[in-house]
Structure 1
Amino acid sequence: MSKAPHHGRGHWPRQLVATAPVLPILIVFVIVLVDLICGSGMTSVPLLAVGPALAATTNGPRGVLCVGLLAAALGATLGVRDGGEDRELAVVLAALMAVTLASVLASSLRGRRERVLAAVRSVAEAAQHALLQPVPATVGPFQVAVRYSAAAAEARIGGDLYALVSTPYGVRLIVGDVRGKGLPAVGTAALVLGVFREAAYDEPDLLAVVARIERSLARNLGSDDFVTAVVAGYPRAGQLEVVNCGHAPPLLVRDSVVVPVDPDLPAPPLGLRTLSGESPALQVLPFADGDQLLLYTDGVTEARNHGREFYPLAEGLARHASEEPARTVTALHDELLAHVGGRLHDDAALLLLRIPVAAETPVTGGITSCSPVDAVRHRP
């Protein structure tokens, strides 16, 4: 019972020190000290306005007012000590108090804007959790890792989308990229994710899931809008289904070899099927213990460095592939940021699946000798 009060007494002094305008007060005392040493007279008194002006950028109105009153009191003391004229001193002190009041107002407005920004950030975070729901480290038989970065400053969501759900028909997932940026792209991403999550539970066939998304987009998108996406499913052990709708090909990792899963029958992006008349095809490929599949958006592969060179994702995946998807994706994301110089200019998403190797299964199984490209089958 005695620990709680002791913790409270120890907490509020630290909080007070953290919120006190230490730097502005220090600057005020430095100006006073210089005046005392150099005897600069009334010329140093106006410099005391730096204190409340600086406090307005870091502290609340009360802190600014305290710094301003302290500066005025010390300025009056210096003026009397240096023998300044009463009228001149009154004008300087009036200007100092005017700066203080203006700084108090600026501090109050800054605090209000910070509270509004905090509310907007909380809404953005709630939207992120509603749209891009956190993916657990294990879903069904898969180890999973996701890394998403929005290009817009302070943004948590953008035009890229991903979702991974466990359904009665196995684990299903989608990774996509909405044409455009900003709030319209976020709205389209929300529409796609909502339809996918519902259809993934209802439709036994993966192509039917894609068709549901296509119909919804046809009703809601403009003629120039579309979404590139890869929709995948794991209906049974050892078999992965992939439907590619105009998206970048996933990268399959097997025996430390990275192979792109290119569709032999290219399909248009979601929302453009009525214009092209082409339908997507279902690819079925073996996916056994130790295999990995990386899905991503073009914000990764189209990221350029200062020499205008694209980021080599396949080479990076070959370097960083490991038995821990989270470590692999983190290494890829860090290398991507280093490649572009620290800031992405487009939304970027990485989603990595891996089936862990069973303890009783040797690493060199029969499946590893199979060529990933030759093993892909197509069903229109």
Structure 2
Amino acid sequence: MPVKNGRPTVLSVLPFAMMALVTAVDIGTGPGVGFLPLVSLGPAFAPLVGGWRRTACIGVIALLLCAGLGWYNDLLDARRGYMTFASVVGVTAAGLVAVSMRQKREVELANVRSIAEAAQRVLLKPVPRLAGQIRAAVSYMSAVAEARIGGDLYEVVASPHGVRVMVGDVQGKGLEAVETAAVVLGAFREAAPEEADLAAVGRRLERSIERQIEGEKFVTAVLAEVRAEEVTFLNFGHPAPLLVRADGSVTWPEPTVYALPLGLHAHGTAPPEAYRTDFRPGDQLLLYTDGVTEARDADGRFYPLAERAHLLKEDDAEAALEAVRQDLLLHVNGPLHDDAAMLLLRYR
């Protein structure tokens, strides 16, 4: 990428800068010092950006400089002059091979990214903006550079039994975490419209993980069902949602006892018990993963989500989540160390 914001980048001008520097030093010190071989630094840095034509052009410029400086240093007929010409030609040829290999890797990387984007569209589909009386918005940030998808998951399903949502966090990272997320999301999308009871949806998720996931993998998750100005929760070891009332007050609906995450109930522990709270017009419910609340600043302080509840006052749900997202990045002042997903529900 030779140009950024209308100005050449450092890498794009580096070959020319090196050749100009060698030329200036060689002329300044006078004949006989022997800086001529350093002209090959120009073609050496050329493959970093651009295509083969640019690399070849820089090689030609380096040869012309060699001819000029060789004449200046009276080396055109000397062995050292011939060796300098040969080194420039060799470095340029190696640069052309390097450009070819780099461009091939860039094509492969572009293909991988397109596949990742397709996987995201299948796995983490856009949530419906309107589901009954509920307005929904979502934000997802991956901790992995250039990644479009990770171990956090979310879904919103409008069912005959109310609007059902899920936010979860898969143990681990990488492709195995994505595979587990796909199993959980598939089970939720199948069970949410069918099961009359939210606890039955949770049991379906547990059975799917037990059948299809090997090893000690688990998923923390919170399920919510909004119906008739009331929200029912089922919490599998996940951080409690943030409920912002119409008057601006903040509460954290928590279960009496936290249950184990999905995938660990084979140890004989009791399943989670459903608990309820009011959810009336003007209220907002923010479900999130621990990548939000456990994000630390330079002094090691966690992100104070409750203190940032006022950012959700934006009229547009997406704008409200974007305000929280930007504030979270400002708090961290650097890359996230964990995936961070947020799902905002508003009672219209």
Match of 2:314 among 300, 312, 322: 322
> Residues 257 and 318 of structure 1 are in contact (CA less than 8 Å); yes or no, is this contact kept in structure 2?
no
Q: CA deviation at 1:231?
A: 1.0
Task: Please give the per-residue CA displacement for 1:145-179, whole angstroms capped at 9, x wherever unaligned.
Answer: 21111112222211111111223333221100112
What residue number does 1:373 align with? none
What residue number does 1:52 align with? 43
C-alpha separation in 2, matches of 1:101 and 1:265 = 69
What amino acid maps onto 1:204 in structure 2?
A
Range with greater deviation from structure 2 (195-204 or 185-194): 195-204
Task: Please give the per-residue CA displacement for 1:46-95, whole angstroms capped at 9, x wherever unaligned.
Answer: 23212212211002222212211221123123312432243221111101
What amino acid maps onto 2:36 in structure 1?
V
User: Does residue 194 in structure 1 map to residue 178 in structure 2?
Assistant: no
Summarize the alignment of residues 5-84 of structure 1 with structure 2, pairs less than 5 Å apart: 24-25=15-16, 27-28=18-19, 31-32=22-23, 35=26, 39-40=30-31, 43-84=34-75
User: Does residue 257 in structure 1 map to residue 238 in structure 2?
Assistant: no
> Residues 321 and 344 of structure 2 are in contact (CA less than 8 Å); yes or no, is this contact kept in structure 1?
yes
User: Does residue 279 in structure 1 map to residue 271 in structure 2?
Assistant: yes
> Residues 43 and 58 of structure 2 are in contact (CA less than 8 Å); yes or no, is this contact kept in structure 1?
yes
C-alpha separation in 1, matches of 2:95 and 2:32 = 25
Report the RMSD for the aligned CA atoms in angstroms: 2.5
What residue number does 2:220 align with? 228
C-alpha separation in 1, matches of 2:304 and 2:200 = 34
Q: CA deviation at 1:128?
A: 1.3
Structure 1 residues 167, 40: closer, same or farther in 2, change over 3 A? farther
Structure 1 residues 201, 319: closer, same or farther in 2, change over 3 A? closer
> Residues 49 and 71 of structure 1 are in contact (CA less than 8 Å); yes or no, is this contact kept in structure 2?
yes
C-alpha separation in 2, matches of 1:319 and 1:183 = 34
What amino acid maps onto 1:133 in structure 2?
K
Range with greater deviation from structure 2 (105-114 or 253-262): 105-114
Q: CA deviation at 1:29?
A: 5.1
Structure 1 residues 47, 237: closer, same or farther in 2, change over 3 A? same
What residue number does 2:4 align with? none
What amino acid maps onto 1:117 in structure 2?
L
Summarize the alignment of residues 234-253 of structure 1 with structure 2, pairs less than 5 Å apart: 234=226, 236-253=227-244
> Residues 242 and 250 of structure 2 are in contact (CA less than 8 Å); yes or no, is this contact kept in structure 1?
yes
C-alpha separation in 2, matches of 1:91 and 1:52 = 15
Structure 1 residues 345, 68: closer, same or farther in 2, change over 3 A? same
The TM-score normalised by the length of structure 1 is 0.81
What residue number does 1:4 align with? none
Task: Please give the per-residue CA displacement for 1:79-125, whole angstroms capped at 9, x wherever unaligned.
Answer: 12432243221111101111111211222221121111111111111
Summarize the alignment of residues 206-225 of structure 1 with structure 2, pairs less than 5 Å apart: 206-222=198-214, 224-225=216-217
Q: How many pairs are equivalent?
A: 339
Range with greater deviation from structure 2 (111-120 or 79-88): 79-88
C-alpha separation in 1, matches of 2:240 and 2:186 = 23
> Residues 35 and 41 of structure 1 are in contact (CA less than 8 Å); yes or no, is this contact kept in structure 2?
no
> Residues 41 and 79 of structure 1 are in contact (CA less than 8 Å); yes or no, is this contact kept in structure 2?
no
Task: Please give the per-residue CA displacement for 1:14-66, whole angstroms capped at 9, x wherever unaligned.
Answer: xxx999x6663465456446656764567343232122122110022222122
Q: CA deviation at 1:208?
A: 1.6
The TM-score normalised by the length of structure 2 is 0.88
User: Does residue 87 in structure 1 map to residue 74 in structure 2?
Assistant: no
Q: CA deviation at 1:319?
A: 5.0
Summarize the alignment of residues 297-376 of structure 1 with structure 2, pairs less than 5 Å apart: 297-318=289-310, 320-356=312-348
What amino acid maps onto 2:315 in structure 1?
E
Structure 1 residues 40, 316: closer, same or farther in 2, change over 3 A? farther
Range with greater deviation from structure 2 (117-126 or 201-210): 201-210
Q: Percent identity?
A: 48
Q: CA deviation at 1:307?
A: 2.1
What amino acid maps onto 1:247 in structure 2?
H
What amino acid maps onto 1:322 in structure 2?
E
Q: Point out where structure 1 has 5 or more consecutive residues left out of the alignment.
A: 1-16, 357-380
